């Protein structure tokens, strides 16, 4: 804490450290023993406001108006301290005490000017931090000129008009319901997508199994065909061997086979190779001799 020695007759001001024995800064008065001592705390101090009246709480109630003209209660806290180098100016020029004469109007005016440019909904939600920052800059700049250092400005609470609060609550409930439905829809879409992926995987697995079975079937058929070919080749070989043996023993069978094969296209008559015991030989010979005898006289 600092002590100020103020000369009542001369107006001279001296500054002392209360807990020390030495003088930090002093202006010696021309008239000794005629002085007044005032104390100022140079520690951090806190100025607070409430959005509504609270029983047994002497804090100032801060109410401002939005762009729509709706009343808005604000709970604000400002942490500040007095500049030790400017205590003489504070004591000589500012209304005392500072916490009740300077802080309330400066803080209230800064927030009134700031919030009058914003809609209630923005102050309550989307632009709350922006409102706090703009008001804090205004408060800091305004108080710095009077030797008051502002360290922090906090916007603790925003109190809305009852009717607007009910309507906003309904909107928030609907927004929460929409968010819930959106989340449920997203979950269902993920479930559907997961089911589609599982079905696709099952389909691919079945396709692979079918391809595998087809390859096995083709292999089995190939083996069966090869076995069948081998059996047919063996049977054909046996048949040809039997036919060769028959033909060897019965040469006339060849002529019979050829006649059967050509029966629908050529008419032939089979005769023994030596012509024995075949009646057509005599017929053909007689015809030939008769023909020669009938034509002989004419030749003469």
| Domain range list for the chain | 1-40, 43-160, 163-249, 251-291
pLDDT at 242: 79
pLDDT at 126: 83
3-state secondary structure of 139: helix
Q: What is the pTM of this model?
A: 0.50
3-state secondary structure of 129: helix
Report the C-alpha gap between 3 and 110 in whole angstroms.
31
In this structure, the number of other CB atoms found within 10 A of the CB of residue 238 comes to: 10
pLDDT at 286: 53
Fold entry, domain 43-160: Tetrahydropterin Synthase; Chain A (3.30.479)
Report the C-alpha gap between 180 and 196 in whole angstroms.
24
What's the chain's average pLDDT?
75
Report the C-alpha gap between 289 and 279 in whole angstroms.
16
| DSSP assignment letter at 60 | E
The pair of three-digit structure tokens given for residue 41, joined into one six-digit string: 């705390």
pLDDT at 132: 92
Q: Are 118 and 127 in contact (CB under 8 A)?
A: yes
pLDDT at 201: 87
- 35-40 and 45-50: which strand pairing? unpaired
| DSSP assignment letter at 44 | -
Cα Rg for the chain, rounded, in angstroms? Answer: 63
Nearest to 159 by CA among 53, 256, 254, 235: 53
Mean pLDDT split into 10-residue runs, the chain, 300 residues: 48 47 36 61 89 81 88 92 86 85 92 91 86 93 92 90 71 78 87 87 86 83 81 81 76 69 60 52 51 46
Task: List CB contacts of 124: < 8 A, sequence separation 6 or more.
Answer: 158, 160, 168
Q: How many residues does this entry show for the chain?
A: 300
């Amino acid at each position: 804490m600092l002590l100020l020695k103020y000369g009542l007759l001369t107006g001279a001001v001296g500054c002392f450290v209360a807990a020390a024995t030495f003088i930090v800064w002093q202006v010696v008065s021309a008239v000794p023993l005629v002085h007044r001592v005032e104390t100022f705390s140079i520690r951090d101090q806190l100025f607070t406001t409430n959005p509504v009246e609270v029983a047994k709480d002497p804090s100032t109630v801060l109410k401002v108006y939005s762009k729509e003209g709706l009343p808005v209660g604000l709970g604000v806290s400002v942490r500040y301290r007095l500049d030790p180098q400017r205590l003489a100016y504070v004591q000589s020029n500012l209304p005392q005490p500072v916490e009740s004469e300077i802080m309330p109007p400066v803080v209230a005016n800064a927030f009134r000017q700031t919030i009058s440019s914003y809609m209630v909904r923005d102050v309550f939600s989307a632009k709350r931090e922006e409102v706090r920052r703009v008001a804090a800059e205004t408060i800091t700049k305004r108080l710095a000129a009077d030797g008051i250092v502002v360290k922090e400005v906090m916007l603790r609470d925003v109190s809305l008009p009852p009717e607007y609060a009910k309507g906003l609550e309904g909107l928030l409930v609907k927004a929460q319901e929409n968010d819930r439905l959106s989340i449920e829809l997203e979950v269902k879409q993920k479930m559907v997508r997961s089911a589609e992926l599982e079905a696709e995987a099952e389909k691919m697995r079945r396709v692979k199994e079918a391809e595998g079975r087809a390859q096995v079937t083709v292999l089995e058929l190939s083996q069966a065909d090869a076995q069948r070919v081998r059996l047919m080749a063996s049977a054909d070989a046996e048949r040809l061997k039997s036919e060769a043996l028959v033909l060897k023993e019965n040469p006339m069978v060849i002529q019979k086979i050829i006649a059967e094969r050509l029966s629908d296209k050529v008419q032939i008559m089979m005769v023994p190779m030596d012509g024995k015991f075949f009646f057509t030989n005599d017929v053909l010979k007689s015809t030939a001799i008769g023909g020669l005898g009938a034509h002989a006289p004419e030749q003469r």
